[in-house]
Structure 1
Amino acid sequence: SLSPDGLVPNMLAFNVGVELGQLLALAGILIVMGFWRRLPSFNRQAYGVNTILMMAGFVLIGMQLTGYFVS
């Protein structure tokens, strides 16, 4: 259970920690993407990855819409 004393500082500290974690994750992704873009096969690989991500998105939206209309 949360103590009533110090609730606001605890919430602020948690949110700041989450935001710092997101910034660190973004920095890592940008570093990896920078190295990946230098590869000669980047365009071919990026096209394939984007195609797979779009297909996964269409499948997920199909599942969500099916669940919405069936239930």
Structure 2
Amino acid sequence: MRQLLELLGFIALVQGVMGLVHEFTDWRVGLVQSLGFLDGYEVYASGGLVVLALALFAAAEGRKRP
């Protein structure tokens, strides 16, 4: 379970950072930009993904190793 949380956190972190890079540099990277219902809210969605990633990493850290 710990590895799954870390993997999901890593994916969320990468997508969030790539979304922020896209918004501030106009590079065409990330998944957030391809979701049509997020038009105009890409920065907030990307920031939310970064916060979600930090929460997932904290949850993974809180899990005890077997």
Q: TM-score range by the shorter chain?
A: 0.3 to 0.5
Structure with higher RCO (Cα < 8 A, 6+ apart): 2
Decide which structure has greater helix share: 1
TM-score, L = length of structure 1: 0.36
Between structure 1 and structure 2, the one with the greater Rg is 1
TM-score, L = length of structure 2: 0.38
